Every structure is written in C-alpha cells, then in structure tokens.
Amino acid sequence: MSRPVLAMELEQEFRAVADGEGCELVHVGFHGNILRVTLDHPDGVTHEHCASVSRQLSALLDVDDFGAGRYVLEVSSPGLDRPLYRPEDWQRFVGNLIRVTFVERKDGESRKRTFVGRLETFENRDGGQARVVDEANDSVQNISLLDVEQARLEIEL
C-alpha cells in the first residue's frame, strides 16, 4: 500500500490553519505512517498551539477523506536542533552552528560528507549557496543546497 500524498491545496489549507494560530508552517512530511507537521512561532511553540492545530488539521483531513490507510498525525515544534528545509531557514540562521550532510563532487567522483561549522553566509541564487566555516579546524565549505541531504542547527552550550 502506498502512502497518501499531500495535495498542494491541502498543504495551503495547513498553512492557513497554522497562520490562524499565529504560527508558521515549517514542514509537512511522511515518516512511515506518521504525517509530521512542524510549526514555529516567534515566542516558541506551545502545547496549546500544537493541540489546536492538530484538532483543526484532523478535521480537514477527515473532510478530505485523506488516505486509504491508517496514519498518525503528529504536530510539533522544530526543536532546538531544528532542521533547515527551505532557503528562508538558511537565511534566518546565518551565524548559527549547523550540521550538514551533503554530496560532495570532486574529480568526477561523488561522496556523502557531513560538515559541522558556522553558517557564515547564504545566498539565495542557483538553488541556494551556503558558506560554512569550521573555526576549530580553520576550514571552509561552500555548499549548494541542491547537494544537501540533511541540515540542522547544532545545539550550542
């Protein structure tokens, strides 16, 4: 059985629900049979935000007759080690420490690489270009968002 795909119109309705609660819809995605909805809020996402958005989204999904199989709806905040999904996330967190896993291409070869460093700059051109600096090792990595598999903030103590 294939998992349901979230229609663009439904995602726009999700965004409207989040906006109505003063939240930003950060990400919607499937992980197994879990439909994860990630919210952000300028003052932090509260349990009340998540509960209210969850109730409203459940009703929307019921009306839309979403999916033939069973699924679990999970509404949460992005957390302290929040993933970076969109160019807006990268721009917002310039100056922060990040961990990024990407495909590095050199001499006709490609390999997966993980780099931890400070997001020094981000330019929203050619799909997004980030400059990440590992100050401890004095190394710099220029990364195209097109090559990024996963990126998230690192928790700084």
CATH of the domain at 43: 3.30.300.70
The phi-psi region of residue 115 (left if phi > 0; otherwise alpha if psi is between -120 and 50; otherwise beta) is: beta
Helix/strand/coil (H, E, C) string of 94-135? CCCEEEEEEEEEECCEEEEEEEEEEEEEEECCCCCEEEEEEC
Claim: this prediction has a pTM higher than 0.75: yes
CATH code (residue 94): 2.30.30.520
SS3 call for 21: coil
Q: What is the total count of domains within the chain?
A: 2
Query: pLDDT by residue (tens digit) across 17-60?
Result: 999 999 999 999 888 889 999 999 999 999 999 999 999 999 98
Q: Is residue 42 part of a domain?
A: yes
Q: Is residue 3 part of a domain?
A: no
Q: Is residue 82 part of a domain?
A: no
Encoded amino acid at 114, one letter: T
Q: Is residue 1 part of a domain?
A: no
Co-location of 104 and 146 in the same domain = yes
| Domain coverage including residue 44 | 8-76
Whether the Cβ atoms of residue 18 and residue 25 lie closer than 8 Å to each other: yes
